Structure 1
Amino acid sequence: MTARFTKFLANTFKLATSDVANQYALPVKSMTGAFVSSYGAKKSRRLNEKVVESMGVGRDDFVFEIGFGRGDAMGMCFEKVKEGRGMIFGVERSGYMNERAFKRFVLEIAETDKIRIDSAVDLRNLPYPTDLFNHVFHVDLFYFLQQDSLVDINRELLRVLKPGGTLTCGMQFDRLKKLTEHRILEETQWDPMRYLWALEAAEFSDVKINYHTDPQMGEYQIISARKSTDPLDGQDPEELMEKLSMDMKKERLAVAMMNDKKDAEDSL
């Protein structure tokens, strides 16, 4: 009887932990979703403040947040642009978080049209034109993105950034280690090296991670990168020449095939 009860408790704990982990990644409208999203927002509020502060948002800037949760950082950015010509954009995979954000910013959206909330099922296909944003940022997001799509997602973020625009990612190792201890996350999910690698593979420039200390929350980390103003910046000259040579061969082959087709048609 004791063994059965112990097994029952173990299975119950496993299911509860799995539910919390799923809600942390993608909250749905439920008691667990409400609790987890509220807890996450409370724990990350100071980190959001430091990330927004680090970006140096100007009153005329266009800012884009991915995975805005309950909208704390969007609200902070709105305060930076509300007197200027800037706008705040956000996408969130969670329909529940979208609903919460719409309710939170209903007046700002209606009266100022400076906040736009969108859904994006696939972050590799964002509903925005090229070279739109001065800043793209996210906090506690990349841990939940699949490794095989991470580079393509960052290429899409690079596309929507203006030349010279910045990407900023905030994280806090100490808090993430605790989530790992409670089996909410795997350590490999939040390994910063996998994200740094993905940014470089997507051809961002000035990719780096900086360590900071704050009196309120202790040590935190900010990953940053930039979209170059020079399309050739940071690329290896030999790789560029090899790519150019290959493109020229492809072009000559295409021309030759077109000419062969034309000659064949003329001979008929």
Structure 2
Amino acid sequence: MQNIAEFICCFCLVMLLSKLGKQLGRPTQSLAGWFITKTLVWHNRVLEENAVRLCGIRPDDTVLELGHGPGLGLVAAAPLLSGPKGKLIGVDYSEYMHQLATKRVKELIACGKVTLHHSSVAAMPIPDNSVDKVYHCNCYYFWPDLREGIQEILRVMKSGGLMVTTMRVHRVAHLVSRGAIPSQHWHPETYMEALRASGFTDVYMADKADGGRNFQAIFAKASKC
């Protein structure tokens, strides 16, 4: 009986982690989605704010956040775009996250400073060669096709534009080991190799810290010869 009980507990845990993993990639308006949203706000704030900081945003840049979630990164980036041409774009595949972020930055949307799209990374309604800076965190390993997503990002970026990705590698590795995150292309080196193969240059990862909290940042420059 004990073995059966242990098996049932393990099975339930695997199912729970699988469900939470799906919510991490595309949160829905549900109890699990609410829990994931609270988790994102708690764990991702440092990653979001530092991704914005490391981009070196200028007042008149056009900036894109991929997988904007509940909008923490949007709130951090918007004040930096103080010039008359400064513009912030957000894309998220989750309708629930799109709704939450829309409420969070509704005044910025109303004045035309921010535009949000409910869209996948692989099919963004954004013109070619229009974006100066791109940032995202805890995002790329949820894209169904890594190369397709990267090629779409390169399409919308201006040549020489900078993309910054932030993550905590050890935490992602732990979630992968528990089955909560897809395992096929989570590793930073896999992501960086895909960036290089698609045309990005100056691709590298650096260890960073903020207030005693360590994280990793991946930098890549759009190159269009």
Q: How high is the TM-score relative to the length of structure 1?
A: 0.78
User: Is 1:154 equivalent to 2:153 in the alignment?
Assistant: no
How many residue pairs match? The answer is 225
User: For residue 225 of structure 1, what is the aligned residue in structure 2?
Assistant: 220
Kept in 1, the 8 Å contact 2:71–2:101? The answer is yes
Amino acid at match of 1:203: G
Of 146, 167, 171, which aligns to 2:167?
Answer: 171
CA 14–188 in structure 1, closer or farther in 2 if over 3 Å, else same: same
More helix by share: 1
2:118 alignment partner in structure 1: 119
Q: Could you tell me which amino acid in structure 2 is paired with residue 14 of structure 1?
A: V
Residues 1:185 and 1:203: Cα distance change in structure 2 (over 3 Å): same
The SS at the match of 2:109 is: helix
Alignment RMSD: 1.8
CA–CA separation in structure 2 for the residues paired with 1:89 and 1:164: 19
Q: Which runs of 5 or more residues in structure 2 are unaligned?
A: none
Paired residue for 1:134? 132
C-alpha distance in 2, partners of 1:18/1:107? 36
Q: Kindly provide the amino acid, as one letter, of the partner of residue 68 in structure 1.
A: H
Instruction: Please give the alpha-carbon distance, in whole angstroms, between the structure 2 residues aligned to 1:102 and 1:120.
Output: 14
Structure number with bigger Rg: 1
- Aligned pairs for 1:1-268 (under 5 A) are 1-82=1-82, 84-110=84-110, 112-121=111-120, 123-146=121-144, 149-185=145-181, 188-218=184-214, 220-228=215-223, 231=225
Gaps of 5+ in 1: 232-268
Distance 1:191 1:4 in 2: 35
Distance 2:182 2:67 in 1: 19
Q: Deviations over 1:178-229 (max 9, x none)?
A: 32354323555421111111111111121111222333312x211111123x
Alignment check: 8 A CA contact 1:138 1:169 kept:
yes
Q: Show CA shifts across 1:16-54 (max 9, x none).
A: 111111111111111111111211221111111111111
Pairwise CA distance, 1:13: 1.8
Q: What is the aligned partner in structure 2 of residue 261 from structure 1? A: none
Percent identity (aligned):
28
Q: Distance in 1 between matches of 2:196 and 2:168?
A: 21
Alpha-carbon offset, residue 3 of structure 1? 4.0
Change (3 A) 1:210 1:2: closer
Distance apart, 1:106 and its partner CA: 1.4
C-alpha separation in 1, matches of 2:71 and 2:84: 20
Report the Cα distance in structure 1 between the residues aligned to 2:196 and 2:163, rounded to whole angstroms: 12
Contact 1:66/1:91 (CA < 8 Å) preserved in 2? Answer: yes
Give the corresponding residue for 1:242: none
Higher alpha-carbon deviation: 3-12 or 206-215: 3-12
Tell me: CA distance 1:189–1:227, structure 2 relative to 1, closer, same or farther (3 Å): closer
* 8 Å Cα contact 1:152-1:202 kept in structure 2: no
Residues in 2 aligned to 1:82 and 1:105: alpha-carbon distance in whole angstroms: 16
Partners of 2:143 and 2:149 within 8 A in 1: no
Distance in 2 separating the partners of 1:144 and 1:133:
22
Aligned partners of 2:187, 2:175: CA distance in 1, in Å? Answer: 13
